[in-house]
A and B are shown apart, each in its own frame.
Chain A
């Protein structure tokens, strides 16, 4: 497969704009009416960690959650916010959000979903000792029940990104009855806990997790059609692909760039390119030499050929990044190009930074094949400018602890991305005391002001302009060097119909059916 940057942008635009017709697997048979029944067998790279969305820290959990739980608001294909369990919402002032909740929704255990239940969930996220959601709901001061189906959320300060945060785990509603009666085991057994199109059946650890159609689902439009969905962990990519090709599974969550071309040539497999919200980048430690000198950060950026890395390492399964915001986002400014390679300029910057003959630094990265390849290509590109990169390979736990301790010079940073651009920027770039994802240690008043401002105003066009300014500032300041926004291709058996790719990468099976 060859996707040029332009074609990718176009694809993203299609994902973002026009309702995606015949969207997907088996587009040729799009005229067939959907039919009920069948078990969809899904292969994942790893097993889920917990079924309790308030305690979940693992990306894979969310794949299951989006079928059994529902958030207050959800995402559409262009990352817009649309009603979920909340029918509508309003913002009487910048520090207040009022949700009108949907009537007639019941949890799978038969209890009612209402404002009391929603309040219970927010309070659990804020106070439960093991809650992993605390940071996401930190800006929520209090939650009030106005009437049975109206919820008022009072914020500590204006937060334009909060709605987008509530499209995922922080907005997912769990049955208060289940939490009170079997809260401890909710992690392993989510029976009755959700309101979604599918209900939890069983999870045999290390083997499989099964959900089944919820016939009493409130939304009578479209699906759910499938009888059951059965998730299985298959850690090895090659084996997972063979399992799909031989019909042991019907869906696989991710196709490695190196396999994409071969899989697309296979008639028994349908590949859907799902543009992601992710950015794969490097953080440069601005608190110590050599990268406390801006000119040397710039020298590295000008010595790198990002387009070449995307082509050679990522095999074009992704698009060169101009900054932290992916092309799928409404905040993406396509008039800003990725930084172009310019060796003469790199050398001039080296001289300006007091290292006319080049310098040596350590590049810390994950010990996985694609990262190693990327590091090797970067090493070669930098060498042409006289810069020597020593590659240090570590496992991901070590990488995170090195990052938190600022014990690195340049470190790879892979972020899965968030629907609101705030989630791809603020926590990495805003001056923060103590430990945060601002590993580079950047503290720039102009950047801080921009980041604060984007949270205070809710007008999308204005925010978009501010994010454009931020991207330009980043290309000059360079606390981070952005490489690629990867595409996350998913592969299906041709039997699978009706899958709608949302750029958050989550597979929602409500309208999926089997031919």
Chain B
């Protein structure tokens, strides 16, 4: 297993080089310039030129990339052009809400998806199954922003049970924190639950046709024990894969949900940085998100071994 981890870590080097060089090139080839974006209301060409020189933006692109890479290797991701703060501080502040939101959304999705998926598969083609699959289809089709607005309208404006927007850190104030994350987590969790329900249902249906299931039934096991002991465990692999990929997406890509609920997460940080052409910030965040994806994929691979001894790594 140590070998696998080391192997994976070695493979991340070319991936990270490709990702950072790609992002750097795309960003600099996109029209627009951070100084113009920052000083949008100033036509003062001299002031802009001196600021550009101050930030090293007047140097050739390969030089800028090499300088950036050099600093990254020394552990310095640079400073945001827009607010002048270190990139690491910017991300550090934003990663907490994003992680909390992702984990909460994931918990909500599992609470819904596991029972619904199991019942749907076990009682396939009954009305129970139809309700389950309809729910899943609804969750997948419903756009995030619409669901978010409906939830806000119902729980925030009409019933006034939950705050509409903003973020309180649950680590500091547990109740208020969870209340501030409730609506966004449900928004993301429902969509994810739909995906997980469908994946679980179809992989369970596949497992239910296996010979060992027939054998288990022939032994006289109750249907519940068949499902729990023989079907579910074998059906979990695709579910773990889906969750692993979604964790990365939830952390870096919950932009719309973060935007609507005014949550200060990583997704919004990177989108705002792109609009401001805040080069060091975008590059730094993308680098960290790429690292996050690599880590969560590694975690998924290790989990496979726990679920299925046959693919346990030596």
A contacts, CB < 8 Å to B: 49-50, 57-59, 129-132, 134-135, 138, 187-188, 205-207, 232-236, 238-240, 242-243, 245-246, 248, 394-398, 400-402, 404, 416, 427, 434-437
Smallest Cβ-Cβ distance to A188: which chain B residue: B85
B41 touches A242 (CB 8 A): no
- Between-chain CB contacts (< 8 Å), 20 pairs: A57-B39, A129-B51, A135-B47, A187-B83, A205-B85, A206-B93, A206-B264, A233-B262, A234-B262, A235-B262, A239-B261, A242-B156, A242-B157, A243-B165, A246-B164, A248-B164, A397-B31, A398-B30, A401-B32, A435-B45
Is B166 close to A, CB under 8 A?
Answer: yes
A206 touches B165 (CB 8 A): no
A401 touches B94 (CB 8 A): no
Q: Kindly state the separation between the CA atoms of A436 and B32 in the bound complex, as whole angstroms.
A: 15
* Given contacts A129-B54, A404-B36, A246 and B264 within 8 Å (CB-CB): no
Q: Kindly state the separation between the CA atoms of A394 and B261 in the bound complex, as whole angstroms.
A: 26
Q: Kindly state the separation between the CA atoms of A58 and B295 in the bound complex, as whole angstroms.
A: 37
Smallest Cβ-Cβ distance to B50: which chain A residue: A129
B83 touches A397 (CB 8 A): no
Q: Which chain B positions have C-beta within 8 A of A138? A: 44
Interface string of B17-37 (1 = CB under 8 A from A): 000000000000011111011
What's the least CB distance linking A348 to chain B, in Å? 36
A246 touches B93 (CB 8 A): no
Interface centre among B153, B157, B166, B167 (most CB of A within 10 A): B166
Task: Please name the 7 residue pairs, one residue from A and one from B, whose CB atoms are nearest each other, closest first.
Answer: A397-B32, A135-B44, A206-B264, A437-B43, A398-B31, A435-B45, A397-B37
A131 touches B47 (CB 8 A): yes
Q: Which chain B positions have C-beta within 8 A of A248? A: 163-166
Q: Kindly state the separation between the CA atoms of A188 and B85 in the bound complex, as whole angstroms.
A: 9
Is B276 close to A, CB under 8 A?
Answer: yes
Q: Kindly state the separation between the CA atoms of A256 and B45 in the bound complex, as whole angstroms.
A: 33
B262 touches A57 (CB 8 A): no
Q: Kindly state the separation between the CA atoms of A206 and B85 in the bound complex, as whole angstroms.
A: 13
Is B207 close to A, CB under 8 A?
Answer: no
Q: Kindly state the separation between the CA atoms of A233 and B277 in the bound complex, as whole angstroms.
A: 20
19 other A-B residue contacts (CB within 8 Å) besides A188-B83, A397-B276: A57-B39, A132-B39, A205-B85, A206-B93, A207-B166, A233-B262, A236-B262, A238-B149, A239-B164, A242-B164, A394-B31, A396-B275, A397-B275, A400-B33, A400-B36, A400-B37, A400-B40, A401-B31, A435-B43
Q: Which chain A positions have C-beta within 8 A of B275? A: 395-397
* Given contacts A129-B50, A134-B47, A239-B261, A57 and B36 within 8 Å (CB-CB): no
Residue among A59, A246, A400, A437 making CB contact with B157, cutoff 8 Å: A246
Q: Which chain A positions have C-beta within 8 A of B153? A: 242
A205 touches B157 (CB 8 A): no
Task: Tell me the interface secondary structure of chain A in the complex.
Answer: loop
What's the least CB distance linking B83 to chain A, in Å? 6
Q: Which chain B positions have C-beta within 8 A of A235? A: 259, 262, 268
Interface string of B39-69 (1 = CB under 8 A from A): 1111111111011001000000000000000
Interface string of B154-192 (1 = CB under 8 A from A): 001100100111110000000000000000000000000
B43 touches A132 (CB 8 A): no
What's the tally of chain B residues with a CB closer than 8 Å to chain A?
Answer: 47
Is B227 close to A, CB under 8 A?
Answer: no
B39 touches A436 (CB 8 A): no
What's the least CB distance linking A201 to chain B, in Å? 18
A402 touches B31 (CB 8 A): yes
Smallest Cβ-Cβ distance to A428: which chain B residue: B43
What's the least CB distance linking B251 to chain A, in Å? 16
B contacts, CB < 8 Å to A: 30-34, 36-48, 50-51, 54, 82-85, 93-94, 149, 152-153, 156-157, 160, 163-167, 259-262, 264, 268, 275-277
Smallest Cβ-Cβ distance to B152: which chain A residue: A242
Q: Kindly state the separation between the CA atoms of A208 and B262 in the bound complex, as whole angstroms.
A: 11
Residue among A135, A205, A245, A401 making CB contact with B42, cutoff 8 Å: A135
Smallest Cβ-Cβ distance to B149: which chain A residue: A238
Residue among B43, B46, B54, B260 making CB contact with A130, cutoff 8 Å: B54
Smallest Cβ-Cβ distance to B33: which chain A residue: A401
What's the least CB distance linking B63 to chain A, in Å? 21
B167 touches A207 (CB 8 A): yes
Q: Kindly state the separation between the CA atoms of A246 and B94 in the bound complex, as whole angstroms.
A: 27
Q: Kindly state the separation between the CA atoms of A59 and B39 in the bound complex, as whole angstroms.
A: 10
Q: Which chain A positions have C-beta within 8 A of B30? A: 397-398
Residue among B36, B152, B268 making CB contact with A239, cutoff 8 Å: B152
B43 touches A135 (CB 8 A): yes
* Given contacts A50-B83, A206-B93, A400-B36, A232 and B45 within 8 Å (CB-CB): no
Q: Kindly state the separation between the CA atoms of A378 and B36 in the bound complex, as whole angstroms.
A: 28
* Given contacts A57-B38, A135-B42, A239-B262, A400 and B32 within 8 Å (CB-CB): yes
Smallest Cβ-Cβ distance to B44: which chain A residue: A135
What's the least CB distance linking A233 to chain B, in Å? 6
Q: Which chain B positions have C-beta within 8 A of A404? A: 36
Smallest Cβ-Cβ distance to A233: which chain B residue: B262
Q: Which chain A positions have C-beta within 8 A of B51? A: 129-130
Q: Kindly state the separation between the CA atoms of A49 and B37 in the bound complex, as whole angstroms.
A: 12
Q: Kindly state the separation between the CA atoms of A436 and B276 in the bound complex, as whole angstroms.
A: 20
Q: Kindly state the separation between the CA atoms of A138 and B54 in the bound complex, as whole angstroms.
A: 20
Q: Kindly state the separation between the CA atoms of A234 and B262 in the bound complex, as whole angstroms.
A: 5
Smallest Cβ-Cβ distance to B265: which chain A residue: A206
A187 touches B164 (CB 8 A): no
Q: Which chain A positions have C-beta within 8 A of B94? A: 206
What's the least CB distance linking B245 to chain A, in Å? 27
A401 touches B36 (CB 8 A): yes
Q: Which chain B positions have C-beta within 8 A of A238? A: 149
Q: Which chain B positions have C-beta within 8 A of A398? A: 30-32
What's the least CB distance linking B173 to chain A, in Å? 13
Q: Which chain B positions have C-beta within 8 A of A402? A: 31
* Given contacts A397-B36, A401-B36, A434 and B45 within 8 Å (CB-CB): yes
Q: Which chain B positions have C-beta within 8 A of A243? A: 164-165
Q: Which chain A positions have C-beta within 8 A of B276? A: 397
What's the least CB distance linking B139 to chain A, in Å? 22
Q: Kindly state the separation between the CA atoms of A30 and B57 in the bound complex, as whole angstroms.
A: 55
Interface centre among B40, B48, B163 (most CB of A within 10 A): B40
